[in-house]
Structure 1
Amino acid sequence: MKLSIRHETIYRYTALLAYTIQQLRLTPREELQQHALSWQITTSGQRHAYTDAYGNLSHMLTITGQYDALSIVAQGLVETIYPYQGRLNAIETLSPLIFSVATRLTEPTPQIMDFAATSFAGNLAGKTFNTHGKTQTPEALKLAELIFGAIEYQSGATLVTTSADDALSLGRGVCQDHAHLFLACCHAHSIPARYVSGYIDPGTSSHAESHAWVDVWVEDSDFSGWVSIDVTHARLMTDAYCRLAVGRDYDSAAPIRGVRRGGGEEMLDVNVQVMPVQQ
């Protein structure tokens, strides 16, 4: 499949801004199941390209001088291949164990430990989700279903700083909350799992084209490695997905993160369009 993607982010400020530095993870990852046929990032300021600790193609953007608005546009054409059973057949340079460490957003609190234990014992029969850090694809998909049932999808219900525990207490959230709770449940059982940011061809879904999901390390009878699961839709990743970055949570895989000096109040407008291109 070929996906035409355009991601525009506009910041507006109530006062003049003197300086900003932004970390951009807006370039599709180079992986076996996807390849950027064309891609460009348009913005003011100076950009320095680098690859971060998780293998994400990134840029450091710095802008000086007085201004009251900032536009960042990433766009291009990405060719994707359907990954069999959501499997990522890639040579990994990092141990999956680094993705079994909890973060502030994915801490397995007592509430999450209870949720994970009940879910695993009551629905997964304790067969493969266990303290030995191993699971299989069917059980991981079942966990995704349980999480979606526990956190109703509601746009605007949470913030990017909302933890998995807070989202579970609220019972409402968006894709990043589903992903964080999945990671927290896996961390509670020492199962490697990582956050994925990217885009999705929404089709008839009402969910935004900018999306977040997870990779989980499985030990199936015929495969050992990463399997990519969309927790919000409780399904395996398909060729309708474009992967931007992986990390331990939103903070380490966010498309845009940064700090600024001045500017007063900030207003943010994001527009993402993802369309399949006819072959």
Structure 2
Amino acid sequence: MRLKITHQTSYRYDQPVQSLVQSLRLTPSVFEGQRVVDWTISVSGGQRGAAFRDGAGDWIEGWTVRGPVEEVTVAIEGQIETRDTAGVLRGHREGVNPLVYLRATALTKPDAGLRELAASVTGDDALDLAHKLSAAVSGAIAYLPGVTEAGTTAAEALALGQGVCQDHAHALIACAHLHGLPARYVSGYLHSSADGEPHDAAHAWTEIHVGSLGWVGFDAANACCPDARYVRLGSGYDAQDAAPVRGLTVGSGAESMDVRLQVQEMEEQ
């Protein structure tokens, strides 16, 4: 599948800010499931700084904008070819030991509810267990936008019984950890039209390390493994750690954000 992605995020400030520094994890991952045809990142009024591939295999770019400035826009435009690898992250080069991803964060820390959910699941092997944990999270948390916030924890989302992809990912990470399986949060894009209507959005899912097979993706929000509709950007311990855009602003102005995103399927050449 060839996907064209247009993603524009505008940050506006009610008072001009002196400057800002951003760390962008907005370049698609390099592995067998996807190949970049072309990809451009720009920051209005910005100067590109250092860029590097971190230990987890993610490409990080630093940008600086000198003010005073009232609006900054991060724009992405590109095309990428994807193929279905049944969720397996094959060919992705990274130097981080998977055991690092047994660490819980404030967003993925288990409580009694998550412990009970995880304990209710058993599997024949690590892969089977991971699939069943994902299904359990899918059944326990109904997808419903607007009921949770960026700071909602996995425990809170489970207690509520509702949430979005971020909440499903955090809950699945917590449940995997309780079974001793390394798990991490993945950010990216999803193009889906299975019901005849396009659902183009930034998306999140979970990767669980299942022994010799390595990292395998599980999207509990959609009850499936990532396929050719998914574009992987990067990973981390949780949503905050894997955020595509992280930044520091010098100034006292209140910030508002506007996001425009389109993921379009193109005719392959």
Tell me if both proteins adopt one fold, taking TM over 0.5 as the criterion. yes
Q: For 1:2 and 1:233, how far apart are their aligned partners in 2?
A: 21
Q: Which runs of 4+ in 1 moved over 4 A?
A: 205-208
Gaps of 5+ in 1: 129-134
CA contact (8 A) 1:50 1:59 kept: yes
CA contact (8 A) 1:141 1:234 kept: no
Within-5 A mapping of 1:248-263: 248-263=237-252
Gaps of 5+ in 2: none
State the one-letter code of the partner of 2:38: S
Match of 2:89 in 1: 88
Within-5 A mapping of 1:4-23: 4-23=4-23
Match of 1:73 in 2: 75
Q: For 1:56 and 1:264, how far apart are their aligned partners in 2?
A: 31
State the one-letter code of the partner of 2:8: E
Equivalent residue in structure 1 for 2:266, among 252, 255, 277:
277
Structure 1 range deviating more: 237-246 or 93-102: 93-102
1:165-209 deviation digits (Å, cap 9, x = unpaired): 121122221101100000011111210111110011121467552
State the one-letter code of the partner of 2:60: S
Match of 1:29 in 2: 29
1:196-227 deviation digits (Å, cap 9, x = unpaired): 100111214675521001111124xxx52111
Deviation of 1:262 after TM superposition, in Å, equals: 2.0
Match of 1:46 in 2: 47
Structure 1 range deviating more: 253-262 or 91-100: 91-100
Normalising by the residue count of structure 2, what TM-score does the alignment of the two structures yield? 0.91
State the one-letter code of the partner of 1:199: Y
Deviation of 1:38 after TM superposition, in Å, equals: 0.3
Q: For 1:207 and 1:174, how far apart are their aligned partners in 2?
A: 14
Q: For 2:90 and 2:55, how far apart are their aligned partners in 1?
A: 20
Q: For 1:89 and 1:256, how far apart are their aligned partners in 2?
A: 25
CA contact (8 A) 1:228 1:237 kept: yes
> In percent, how many aligned pairs have the same letter?
39
CA contact (8 A) 1:81 1:239 kept: yes
Deviation of 1:232 after TM superposition, in Å, equals: 0.7
1:115-144 deviation digits (Å, cap 9, x = unpaired): 2113x1xxx3x544xxxxxx11x3322222
Match of 1:211 in 2: 203
Equivalent residue in structure 1 for 2:109, among 93, 107, 126:
107
Within-5 A mapping of 1:139-178: 139-178=129-168
Match of 1:2 in 2: 2
Q: For 2:235 and 2:153, how far apart are their aligned partners in 1?
A: 18
CA contact (8 A) 1:105 1:249 kept: yes
How many residues were matched structurally?
263
What value does the CA root-mean-square deviation take over the aligned residues? Answer: 1.7
Deviation of 1:41 after TM superposition, in Å, equals: 0.6
Q: For 2:19 and 2:94, how far apart are their aligned partners in 1?
A: 37
Call closer, same or farther: CA 1:68–1:208 in 2, change over 3 Å: same
1:19-39 deviation digits (Å, cap 9, x = unpaired): 211111111111121111100
CA contact (8 A) 1:202 1:209 kept: no
Partner SS for 2:99: helix
1:242 aligns with 2:243: no
Equivalent residue in structure 1 for 2:177, among 171, 175, 187:
187
